[in-house]
Structure 1
Amino acid sequence: MLQNNEKQMSFQKEKDLVKAFYEDLQLASNDKLADVIGRFCAPNLLWRGFHPFGQISGVHDVAENFWGPLRNSLKRMQRRQDIFFAGCNSLTDEREVWVVSMGHLMGLFDHSWLGIRPTGKMAFLRYCEFNKVQDGKIVETAMYFDIPHLMVQAGQNPFPPQAAAHLVQPGPLTHDGILSTDQPVEEGEQTLALINAMISDLGQWKSGLTLSEELSRTWHDDMIWWGPEGIGATYTIDRYGKQHAGPFRAAFAERSKTKHVCRLAEGHYGGFFGWPNFTAIPTGGFMGMPATQTPGEFRVIDIYRRAGGKLAENWIFIDLLHFWKQQGVDILERTTGIGSAQV
């Protein structure tokens, strides 16, 4: 654990770096993307993204394989940020600072991306990004995004009807998710402790409590779970249990222990990501598809808002394309006609 004097240190320098990066990235022409990324990121940047991207190493490859094609497709792209905070990774003994940004990348969908047909209209790509800042440079990035939601906007629905609802998801109810200045340390500690308690409950699946009783230990009754396309968003503990948590637990067996790369909190906000977070075996059917009995990885980002002594909102990013590819189903190829290897 970090010593108290280390916890008191400000994250303003790291936040300012990431803000400046976003501003310059917004203004850069496509032929200057690698130059901009190179000014703010280490040459050997480790970048993790959802399928079909996976891990990319190096500034040039990140610009060429991700940002360039996306910017060419979503013209005049804006980063519409709903949550922004920073903190020390609670899973390491050293002072390891990460800056988190969540919202939508919005633009005019004028050219195909990953085989998804353009609409010529506004389109929104849900994203959440964790940036590790070290010695004045971004050295690692986890950039997770909801590709199936973009597919639905283009009229190419990749999944059977989902149990919950999916919309262009709003930011926090309280409209206070942009933490431009440092927050009281005690608030972040409370948020992190609550997230850890929730993870402990979640990891058991056999606590002896009913699902509703278990959830009510760490969640407000009017919680909102902002899930990904293919699962959807759900409101209140009761509906969350019926529309996602209950069916999910019934669909899987042999869930591994939770393993995160980073877990942090600042103020009333916190979150984590893994690569993967856990593995599980689909034994009861999932998302309208039959059980495969094949272990699958879940690459996930979770972002939380705490209200008082319990969690109130949760935004979730799950790499469903990667999960189903492991089960023998290439969702991109099935829906767009373009195989992942061609992207």
Structure 2
Amino acid sequence: MSVESDIQSAKDLVTKFYSCLDNAHVDTLADVMLEHTAPDYLWRGYHPFHELSLPEEVASVFWQPLRHSLKHLQRRQDVFMSGRNEMDDFSSTWVVSMGHLMGLFDEPWLGIKPTGKMAMLRYCEFSKVENGKISETAMFFDIPHLMVQAGLQPFPPQTGTQLVQPGPVCHTGLMFNAQQPAEGEKTLNAINYMINTLGNWDQKLSLEQELRLSWHENMIWWGPTGIGSSYTIERYIQQHSGPFRSSFKNRDFNGHICRMAEGEFGGFFGWPNLTLEPTGGFMGMPATGKSGEMRVIDIYRRDGDKLAENWVFIDLLHFWNQQGVDILSRMEKL
């Protein structure tokens, strides 16, 4: 099978899985998981779920409680793509879906009190496809974003803007059909160039100069709740990048599990991406003297030879839990 055929086959498999999963009765979700996933399936999710290792466990621990809470759940995708993974020399195929899971928030979930109103759970999911089955999943979802919709304030005031995030401005993120391989290569090259120029202190560049090497001036950084979103290089520096760089020490990059691209879109995730120690100020929190992990997904849109939009998912509940702050437990008491 050619690379292009393999990628399309993986897309078809995940599309069928989503259709079955989203339309199944809540009591049959485990059957859907068993049909479409490998026996040694590995699922990675946000705190408090972390790693689950059996299809039935994913159904009972994550999907069934979520479906009980968010009634009439609807998947609203903004990006759908597939490609080979650069991290294993392009030998494995992954499918990525990003958007929101929308429903009526009618029952409690993770101690978050329901509103009886529409709610949107922001998500991004990487699925590894092998031998006609999904063998691995990394599904990141912005739980604090749901908290804010429920009237809670899980974190101090953030530097960026809090909102339900739209998809790409060009509306071309849903790539169900085959794309030109050369376009994906350009996107992956742009992402790698950006990674390689991060913190390139040897050139003695200012942060503005560094960012302009790989980003459009009117870039959009769609950040997670607790940090928020920023527009333009100038405001991104003021509202996230500058404070982030000045608020940590002992930063170690742990690498990515998957990094891929298709068309004008691409992204990566790690488990964790970073290990670093807060020195105070980040998200209004004090220094802790403790190192913590940041599990991150980044999805990018390329425009020409530079990056224009970036959707970011960070498991901030996990990070702050390692610092001794249990956000979920604190919210349950409100």
Q: TM-score, normalised by structure 2?
A: 0.97
1:197 is aligned to 193
2:169 is the alignment partner of 1:169: no
Structure 2: gaps of 5 or more residues: none
Q: Which amino acid aligns with 2:212?
A: S
Distance, in Å, in 1 between the alignment partners of 2:317 and 2:133 is: 31
- Does 1:287 find its partner at 2:283? yes
Match of 2:61 among 60, 65, 84: 65
Question: 2:183·2:263 contact (CA, 8 Å) conserved in 1?
Answer: yes
> Counterpart of 1:247?
243
* 1:97-140 residue CA offsets vs partner (Å, 9 max, x unmatched): 00000000000000000000000000000000000000000000
From the superposition, tell whether residues 320 and 155 of structure 1 become closer, same or farther in structure 2 (CA, over 3 Å): same
Structure 1 residue 6, shift from structure 2 partner = 6.1
| SS state at 1:91 partner | helix
The 1-side partners of 2:332 and 2:147 are apart by 9
Of 69, 74, 90, 2:70 maps to 74
CA–CA distance in structure 1, aligned partners of residues 27 and 181 of structure 2: 42
Residues 88, 251 of structure 1: CA spacing in aligned structure 2 closer, same or farther, 3 A cutoff?
same
2:261 is aligned with 1:265: yes
1:95-174 pair list within 5 angstroms: 95-174=91-170
CA displacement 1:159-212 (0-9 Å, x = unmatched): 011001010000000001000111111111110011011111225467511101
Question: What is the rounded CA distance, in whole Å, between the counterparts of 1:230 and 1:245 in structure 2?
Answer: 14
How far did 1:7 drift? 5.0
Where does structure 1 lack aligned partners over 5 or more consecutive residues? Answer: 339-343
How many residues align? The count is 334
Match status 1:40 vs 2:36: yes
Q: 2: CA distance between counterparts of 1:7 and 1:195?
A: 21
Counterpart code for 2:24:
A
* Matching of residue 312 in structure 1 with residue 308 in structure 2: yes
Q: Distance in 2 between matches of 1:94 and 1:217?
A: 26
8 A Cα contact 1:79 1:104, kept in partner: yes
Q: Please give the alpha-carbon distance, in whole angstroms, between the structure 2 residues aligned to 1:249 and 1:40.
A: 42
Question: Are the counterparts in 2 of residues 156 and 336 from structure 1 also a CA contact under 8 Å?
Answer: no
Q: Which SS does the other structure have where 1:239 is aligned?
A: helix
Q: Is the 8 A contact 1:203 1:257 kept in 2?
A: no
Task: Work out the CA distance in 1 between the residues paired with 2:201 and 2:289.
Answer: 19
- The answer on whether the counterparts of 1:7 and 1:185 sit within 8 Å (CA) in structure 2 is no
Tell me if structure 1 keeps the 8 A contact 2:43–2:136: yes
Question: C-alpha displacement at 1:293, in angstroms?
Answer: 2.0
Partner of 2:176: 180
Q: In structure 2, give the amino acid aligned to 1:316.
A: V
SS at the partner of 2:87? Answer: coil
Selected match of 2:11 from 12, 15, 22: 15
Q: Which residue of 2 aligns with 1:84?
A: 80
Cα distance between partner residues in 1 of 2:252 and 2:203: 16
- Is the 8 Å Cα contact of residues 130 and 142 (structure 1) preserved in structure 2? yes
What's 1:208 paired with?
A: 204
Q: Which amino acid in the other structure matches residue 319 of structure 1?
A: D
